[in-house]
Amino acid sequence: MRRSLHARWAACAIAVALAATACGGDDDGGGSGGGDGNGVLSSSWGDPQNPLEPANTNEVQGGKVLDMIFRGLKRYDPETGEAKDMLAESITTDDSQNFTVKIKDGWTFSNGEKVTAKSFVDAWNYGADVRNAQKNAYFFEYIEGYDAVHPEEGDPTAETLSGLKVEDDRTFTVELSQKFSTWPDTLGYNAFAPLPRAFFEDHDAWVRKPVGNGPYQVESYTKGSAMKLRKWEDYPGPDEAQNGGVDLKVYTDNNAAYTDLLAGNLDLADDIPAAQLKNVENDLGDRYINQPAGIIQTLAFPFYEEAWGEGKEQLRKGISRAINREQITEQIFSNTRTPASDWTSPVLGEEGGYEKGLCGQACEYDPDEAKKMIEDAGGLPGGKITLTSNVDTGSHREWLDAVCNSINNALGRDSACTVNPVGTFADYRNQIGDQRMTGPFRAGWQMDYPLIQNFLQPLYYTNASSNDGKWSNEKFDSLIDEANAESDTQKAIETFQDAERVLVEEMPAIPLWYQNGSAGYSDRLSDVKLNPFSVPVYDQITVA
Amino acid sequence: MGRYVIRRLLQMIPVFIGSTFLIFVMVYALGDPVAALFGDRAPDPATAARIRAELYLDQPLWKQYLHYMGQIFRGDFGTAFNGQPVLELMSTAFPVTLRLTLVAVVIEVIIGIVLGVVSGLRRGRSVDTGLLFLTLIVISVPTFVTGYLLQFLFGVKWGLVRPSVSTDATFEELLLPGVVLALVSLAYVTRLTRTSIAENVRGDYVRTAIAKGLPRRRVIVRHLLRNSLIPVVTFIGTDIGALMGGAIVTERIFNIHGVGFQLYQGILRNNSPTVVGFVTILVIVFLLANLIVDLLYAVLDPRIRYA
């Protein structure tokens, strides 16, 4: 709760000695109103990396805002992750390739403009057009005509996607370039949000103060420091905000946010610093949330390096068995990670394709067996192994050292495994892009949408966008194609899992652990939840 | 005096060009920033190429540098990757850090010099020994330790101040961070003043002043202190630049959105316009602070004259 006024005045009295300053009250961090759904909460935020455009936002901080001010055709259920219709009245197809989308009536943007089929088609065309350099352009790559508006080189030969056609105010059709039965389920991602005319007419003004069709609207936005979002009273959707608004405050460091939470100046911190994990249950009790998110960490191998490439399955599996996942997740991450036993995430649920233990023995810790397997495979290439990762965030340095220790212990040699720390994420991504990895390297994956397809295809399909190790396997590829073409969802998921079993045989990347989302909140709040993307479900939070 | 100032200002030009070039090369050497903008996903080449062209990153280093300097002389510091002009970032960050620096310098000057004088005049006595010991502790404890400690004690445990600074960053809020930032320099100022005072207190001019029958206070302030301040002023002058740049740690701890925060973000994201822009301004601040220090010498010691 708020500190007493005495303290503030005491601080002022000291300050007066230095310089005369205004010592009025202020309302930062606290909030006004009572428990009648009008209370405003404050929440920690990070400076978004990109301008806040739906097709240009690919990280959590910007995504957080888009999720509050936009609603798309679908929305992922905050609890189950299931894609449910939001603006979509129906999305129908006969052949898994041509879709007809019908939009519900009565939706508007917060500036009063009606949400029509054109709002979607224009927004998607904008996102796909290479001239707009949108970082999420690849989301539209399955739509027919993508190559023309987004050629690999040179200028586009078309301005719009030929696969998108507006039929009437509330209907449009989509033609995909390949069969993709679960495509409608991808439409909950922010990149597919509709955009009002104001976005195209005065782009600069829109980016300074975005206008959307979600339960909140932006009241003020000071780049780099704060955004005030307020409940949109006339929101036509079924999930109106249960609080009066949210003040997002940019923190330089998650430690500072946590300290503010403890001191009562902040209501919600959605990233508990690693150093505080040991104290957090004492500090917050049941106001601490620690639940699985759609994030998995793996160790990928460079298949362009002969030493690690083809025919080295036994070696790769041996290394996997040398890693004591249980111990590392417990000691370094205080159980905010769960040892992985497949290549997806528990947030998918068993119906969505997550299968505990799918990896089998290959992901179980057994130092003796690991040593035997590695030796049978001819030992480590050159007698040693180097793990590479950026170390600027995420306790990467700590767990890399622990993994190395685990491998060294299994092999009974102190110098078998070393860590190659890379200073910044940017540098690390460059080295990966230039194929300069010489040994196993960290590959993290945060899902775009809660589908098993999203955990497999972008990462392991031949030449896929995040196949950093350049692994390639015909059987895997054909199973993925088959699964995408399958119109029965349950069968599709089973086929995806068959593809995943190829990964067990080949071990192109070692699953390490699933990552949890963590958050802590003040006693003013209740109904705080994290969705499968580990973002707080702001609209359901109630303020006392 | 005037000619001296002009000569010094002209000398700044090559220093300025040289240092900006060095910074530019260093940030450039960190590598291509575009890849990181795409997160864990490999950038799609067409989009990445567009972004590179927009940011002028597809040109050779010397062209980038010339382009950048051309921009600067037109008063344009380029654009950060989130689409925000660097000038806008500066206009929010520099005032905050300037205030923080001001608080720190005021604390450091007042407390540091007073303690130094007290200590220097009582050389060898228990006050002096105690202060020497205290300053030694302060110097040897890293800033982030004192920062987190004071933040926890004052902000969380006793609830006397807010543990973090709001976006307004008023002087009131900056008091505690200012103390943290000032502590190490304060210890140095105390020690420098102490040594200087202890040395000069035996000087002939002090004896003369006392013999003339001047009041003790006047002897100390006008004669002894004025002469003893030259090394201290040199230190404080260079320290202003160091404080502004070195605020990174303090600003992170107390959530201050100043120069340190922006520089840190800029480096993490390989954002050359931000880093070079901010460091350029810091270089200018440093150069000006040094000039002022040199001019202050003449004020403090009339024997020093500039032609």
Average pLDDT estimate for A13-27: 39
Interface of B with A in 223-282 (CB under 8 A): 251-257, 261-262, 264-265, 267-270
A–B CB contacts, 8 A cutoff, strictly below: 182
How many whole angstroms separate alpha carbon B88 and alpha carbon B97? Answer: 15
Residue A296: strand, helix, or coil:
strand
DSSP class of A104: P
User: What is the structure's pLDDT at A31?
Assistant: 42
pLDDT at residue A429 greater than cutoff 70 = yes
Report the pLDDT averaged over residues A506-534: 94
Q: Any chain A CB within 8 A of the CB of B108?
A: no
Facing A130 at nearest CB: one of B35, B50, B92: B50
Could you say which of B92, B162, B269 has the minimum Cβ distance to residue A49? B269
Residue A16 banded pLDDT, cuts 50, 70, 90? very low
Predicted pLDDT at A19: 39
pLDDT tens-digit map of A184-205: 999 999 999 999 999 999 999 9
Q: Is pLDDT above 80 for A12?
A: no
Any chain A CB within 8 A of the CB of B83?
A: yes
> How many Å separate Cα A465 from the centre of its chain?
16
Which amino acid type is present at position B301?
D
Looking at beta carbons, which residues of chain A come within 8 Å of B44?
Answer: 137-138, 150, 465
Q: Answer yes or no: do B43 and A433 touch at CB < 8 A.
A: yes
Cα-Cα end-to-end distance for chain B:
5
Average pLDDT for A10-22: 40
pLDDT band at A30 (very low <50, low <70, confident <90, very high): very low
* Contact (CB, 8 A) for B124 and B198: no
Q: Give the pLDDT confidence score for residue A29 in this predicted structure.
A: 40
Q: Assess contact for B299 and B13: CB atoms under 8 A.
A: no
Span A254-288, pLDDT tens digits: 889 999 999 999 999 998 888 888 889 999 999 99
pLDDT: is B82 or A544 the higher one? A544
Question: How high is the pLDDT of residue A10?
Answer: 43
Q: What is the pLDDT of residue A36?
A: 67
- At B100, is the secondary structure helix, strand, or coil? helix
Of A370, A373, A408, whose CA–CA distance to A387 is shortest? A408
Give whole-number Cα distances, B7 to B11, B14, B238, B307, in Å: 6, 12, 20, 10
pLDDT for A11: 43
User: How many whole angstroms separate alpha carbon A302 and alpha carbon A310?
Assistant: 10
Rounded to the nearest integer, the mean pLDDT of chain A is 89
Cβ-based neighbour number of residue A110 at 10 Å:
20
Distance CA(A338)–CA(A345), nearest Å, equals: 10
Indicate the residue type of B117: V
Question: Is A424 close to B106, i.e. CB distance below 8 A?
Answer: no
In Å, what is the CA distance from B275 to each residue of A251, B29, B243?
20, 13, 17
Which residues 25-44 in chain B show a CB within 8 A of chain A?
Answer: 30-33, 35-44
pLDDT given for residue A53 in this prediction: 93
With 90 as the cut, is the pLDDT of residue A22 above it?
A: no
Disruptive mutation site among A9, A252, A299 for chain B (greatest number of B CBs within 10 Å)? A252
Average pLDDT of the residues of chain B: 88
The more confidently predicted of residues A39 and A16 is: A39
Nearest chain B residue (CA) to A424: B268
Please tell me the predicted confidence (pLDDT) of residue A3.
42
Q: What radius of gyration, in Å, describes the C-alpha atoms of chain B?
A: 24
What is the tens place of the pLDDT at every residue in A137-173?
999 999 999 999 999 888 899 999 999 999 999 999 9
Min Cα–Cα distance to chain A from B19, Å: 23
Instruction: Please say if the pLDDT value at position A45 is more than 60.
Output: yes
pLDDT number for residue B35: 82
Residue A324 phi, psi dihedral angles, 5° rounding: -85, 85
CA-to-CA dists, residue A283 to A271, A395, B153, B156, B161, angstroms: 15, 22, 16, 12, 20
Tens of pLDDT, residue by residue over B7-50, are: 888 988 898 889 888 988 888 777 778 888 888 788 888 898 98
pLDDT, tens only, B101-158: 999 999 999 999 999 999 999 988 999 999 999 999 999 999 889 999 999 999 888 9
**What percent of chain A is modeled with pLDDT above 90?**
74
* Cβ within 8 Å of B, A 345-404: 392
pLDDT on residue A8: 43
**Model pLDDT for residues A369-410, shown as the tens digit of each residue:** 999 999 999 899 989 999 999 998 778 999 999 999 999 999
A422 to chain B: which residues are within 8 Å by CB?
Answer: none
Q: How confident is the model at residue A35 (pLDDT cuts 50, 70, 90)?
A: low
ipTM of the complex: 0.84
Cβ–Cβ of A465/B44 closer than 8 Å? yes
Residue A26 has pLDDT above 80, yes or no: no
Question: Is the per-residue pLDDT at A32 higher than 60?
Answer: no
A253 Cβ under 8 Å from any chain B Cβ: yes
Which chain B residues contact residue A253 at CB under 8 A? Answer: 252-253, 255
On the question of pLDDT at B276 being above 90, the answer is: no
pLDDT for B172:
87
Tell me how far apart the alpha carbons of residues B107 and B175 are, in angstroms, rounded to a whole number.
Answer: 9
**Residue A440 contacts residue A404 (beta carbons within 8 Å):** no
